[in-house]
Every structure is written in structure tokens, then in C-alpha cells.
Amino acid sequence: MNNSWDRMFKKKTHKVFNGETDSTSIEHDLIPTLEDNIEKIKEVLGHSGDLIIREFEMGRPFIHKIATIYVNGLTDKDLMGNLVIEKLMTDTNVVENEGEAWAPNQIGTFIKDHLLAITHVEIAKDLKKLLSLLLIGHTIVLINGWNQAIACASQGGELRSIQEPTTESSVRGPKESFTESLITNTSLIRRRIKSPNLWLETRKLGKITQTDIGVMYINGIANEKLINEVRKRLDKIDVDEIQGSNSIEEWIADDTLTPWPTIMVTERPDVVSGNLLEGRIAIFVDGTPIPLIVPTTWNQFFQTAEDYYLRWNISGFLRFIRIISFLITLLGPSLFIAFISFHPELIPTPLLINLAAQRQAIPFPVIIEALLMEFTFEVLREAGVRMPRPVGQAVSIVGALVLGEAAVSAGIVSSAMVIVVAATAIASFTIPHYSMTDAVRLLRFIMMILASTFGLYGIGLGVILLVSHTVSLRSFGIPYLAPFAPLIVEDQKDAILRIPQPFMGKRPRLISQNKTNRIDSKKGGPLGEGNE
């Protein structure tokens, strides 16, 4: 019987390793022989060097063969050694009475119920479940003569500690960011929202990677239709690998052809907590410190966590600056091209004479000059990001200064063009979210081409097309430009500007449709707001 099982097992594993099927087809029951089970596990894992197997004996006066199996690097060795192996070998050995040895299943029950001082223990009856538990950090206990295994939760290994955010810094806010551990990330949210209504749904995606996914929302605040839509889109993902949240984002986004990001990402737990309290849903991916937030609107990309730690008037002023900087980043070079090439009469005469004098020695049209400078700056920006941090900063700063000065001295570009490109680059740094910055960087080149072709009319046409496209977008059924289109007066309290928090008594109307009020109905708010 073992030979036939062995042939069938080898056939299945051959299909797995050659890409003909996935690992879920390994659904065979374990067999009673300890050596055979160990050999099958080794075989399906390719005799991996990080697979650690410890065989020993326990019991008296009858001896029972036991084996523990774990993957080095996925398991907490101290936890596994102290609470699993030490318990089995030294603390309490099985003593059989009446001169008769216990059956292997009795040994397994005794170990599970009396010896293992560990938080979570479960039984694996087939190879598929055993492997899935082994590869997420469990310690497997096999008993000779028993066709089941005991899986002990002992996940651990080397993980990155909680550190300060690198891309979303804050002066007065918390100084912690997410890590690559799903459990750590969800715990950071639970420390902020201590409510039993904070629910977490977990699932695995990726036939080969078996990546853990967590969907977190607040029951009673999040819209049930939105929750079902998220579940539906995640269930449609049927791929071999999920390497990070960016893979999930491309699969579940409403429109992948748009330059605008329709799903928000963040590395800050306080940002996720604030969005959950507004009725949104967070999607965590194990191995990625950047969760997804859905649904997302355009104005969210100009809001920061710092806005809610500063006074309302200061945060409103900073938001206004970000919007102006966004317009400069998008339209600054194209307006300069349009004025110089098509509409010089709109430039004051002294300035026009100065610009004309600068351009006398420039051999290129203004569009070539602008594209050359913008492309050079993008190369410097990318080089600064990809190189080691100390060297990258020096390359981006010194390179821009040296190349800009050398280009002006060589008569390749005018000094006015250097000023416009530099101002545009500085303005782009004020946009809080990198995904929105990337979108504007791409659209800026399109607007420059339109400006060089049709002047201000081309810019106007580009803006009209861009606004029309943006209005048509949806993020999980929510209009992307809400609360501006459609216009929701109540939600303007926390849109471009922000009013004092005691006056923001309602959640965004289109996001949370179950409990739209934040303020207790009995006490009300400063404006007498309460639940209706």
C-alpha cells in the first residue's frame, strides 16, 4: 500500500514542481510510519537546507519515536525549544500504566492536551495542511504510528522593528510606521481603535506564494455593499504569486489605464485608523509595509496626518499651498512654453526683452529646451533614489547645480528655463503622496507637448480632457472627485480647507452610509450637531 501511495505522491509532486498544477493538489492523508512521513516532507520541499528535523524518543517504560520539524528563519527557536522540544523530552514523559503501551493516537492527545505549553495548537490530518502550517512558521510534531501531526504556533525569526516613517514624516504626530509583518501591522491599528467592532478578515492569495491578506474595517460604520465589493474583487484574483500590495492594487483597481491613483497607500498607522473611522476599508498584505485604503478620492492625496495635529487654520493654509504647488507642477513649464512661443504679448515688455536676450544664443526651440531640462532632472531624481542614500543625495543636489550652471554657460538652455524647471521640481515635493507625484510627472510632459503645438488653447484642451476623465473615474463605486463632483456641501468641511474638529460632526456622506455622525446624539456638538 505504501508503494502505491508513494507512486501517486511522486506523480503529484512532479506536477507541482513542473508548473502543471499547484500545491493545493497535495491532499493525501499522512501515513502511520514516521520515517515515510519525514521522507515525503523532505521530498516535496526539495530537501531544502533550511528544513530542520529533530528526532528523539520519549516515554517510559515504553519508548515512542517523535520528530519535530520546522523551517529555519520562520520559527522562534527559543519559543520552539522551550515550549515544545524541552516539554517533550524532559518536563513530563509519558508513563503507561498496567504494563501496556499507549496507542499512538493516545500519545498525540496527551501531548496536545497536557505537554505543549503554547498558545495555539492544531491537528493536521493531511499533507497539504501540514505543509501550509509548516511554511508559515509552525513547528510540526510527528509521532511514529500516528497518521496525524500536531502543529504548534511558533512563528518568529528576524523581522524589522517598528521605525519612523520615511516618506510621510510628521512633526507632532506618532513616530511609527508599518513593518513587513501582517500581525504587527494589524496590532498597530488595534492599539488605536480599541473596539470590538474592528473586524479583520484573513485569506490567502497566490497559488504558489500563499500570501496572507487581511481586510480590516469597522463593523457598523463601513458600508456593507463596499465590504462585499472588496471581497468579490479579492476572490477574483487567481494567480500564482502575490508579491506585495502593488499586485493587489492592480487587480482590484476600477481603472488601470488612468494616470491617477485610485487606491491610496500609506505607511502610517494613524492614517489608516483615521480612514477606518470614516468608513473606509484597509487591505494589508503580509510582507509589505504599505497597506491599501479603499475607496479613495482625489482630495485625499493632498491631506496629511500632520493636518490633524496642527491648528485648523495652519493645516488649511498648508493644504492650499499643496493645491497651488500641484497646479505649478502640472502647468508651470507648459505655460512658460505657451507664453514664449505663442503669446509673447501677454508677457510684460521689460521681462519679454530680457527673455529674448537670453534666448538669442540658444540653438533649440523652447519645447526642445524644456524637454531636455525636464528629462535631465527626471534622470537625476531617479539616480538619487536608486543610489545609496548618502551618495544619492549628493548626486541629485550637486548634479542639478553643476549641470544647470554648465548648461546655461554653454548656451544650451536659458537661465529662465532653469528657474522654471527648478521651481516646478520644488513644487512637486510638496505633494504628500508619491503616487500622485508620479501621475503629475507624467501628465506634465503631455501638457508641454500640447502647449508647444497649440499654445494656451492646447493647455485649455488638455485641462478639459483631464477634468472630464477625472470626473468619470470611480473608486469602488465612489466618485473620484467627491465631494466636489458631485458637490456635497457638508463634506467641504474637510476638503481643500479644514475647519476645527469639533465642528466636523459627520463622516463623508458617500463613504459611510450606516453611521454618518461622529457626535453623540444626546450631547451634540458645538453647532448642535448630533445623530438624526
Label the pairing between strands 281-285 and 64-71: unpaired
**Long-range contacts, 427-430 (Cβ 8 Å, 24+):** 427/325, 427/326, 427/328, 427/329, 427/332, 428/325, 428/329, 430/321, 430/322, 430/325, 430/326
Provide CB contacts within 8 A for 73, sequence distance 6+.
50, 157, 158
DSSP letter for 302, please: G
Strand, coil or helix: 141: strand
Domain boundaries, the chain: 2-152, 182-296, 312-445
Cβ(142)–Cβ(108) below 8 Å: no
The CA distance from 223 to 280, in Å, is 8
- For every one of its 532 residues, what pLDDT tens digit does the chain have, with 9 covering 90 and above? 444 444 444 444 444 434 444 444 455 778 888 999 999 999 888 888 889 999 888 877 778 889 999 998 888 888 888 888 888 877 555 556 556 777 888 888 888 888 888 888 999 988 888 998 998 889 999 999 999 999 998 888 777 888 888 888 888 888 899 998 898 999 999 999 999 999 999 999 998 888 999 999 999 899 999 999 999 999 999 999 898 888 899 999 998 889 999 999 999 999 999 999 999 999 999 989 999 999 999 999 999 988 899 899 999 999 999 999 999 999 999 999 999 999 999 989 999 899 888 888 888 899 999 999 899 888 888 877 777 766 666 666 666 677 777 888 888 888 899 899 989 989 998 999 989 999 999 999 999 999 999 999 999 999 999 999 999 999 999 999 999 988 888 888 888 888 888 888 888 888 877 777 877 655 555 544 444 4
The terminus-to-terminus CA distance of the chain in angstroms comes to 71
Q: Which residue has the cell 505504501?
A: 2
Tell me which H or E stretch contains 55.
strand 51-58
Angle formed by the axes of helices 389-409 and 415-428, nearest 10°: 150
CA distances from 451 to 266, 331, 332, 363 (A): 34, 9, 11, 20
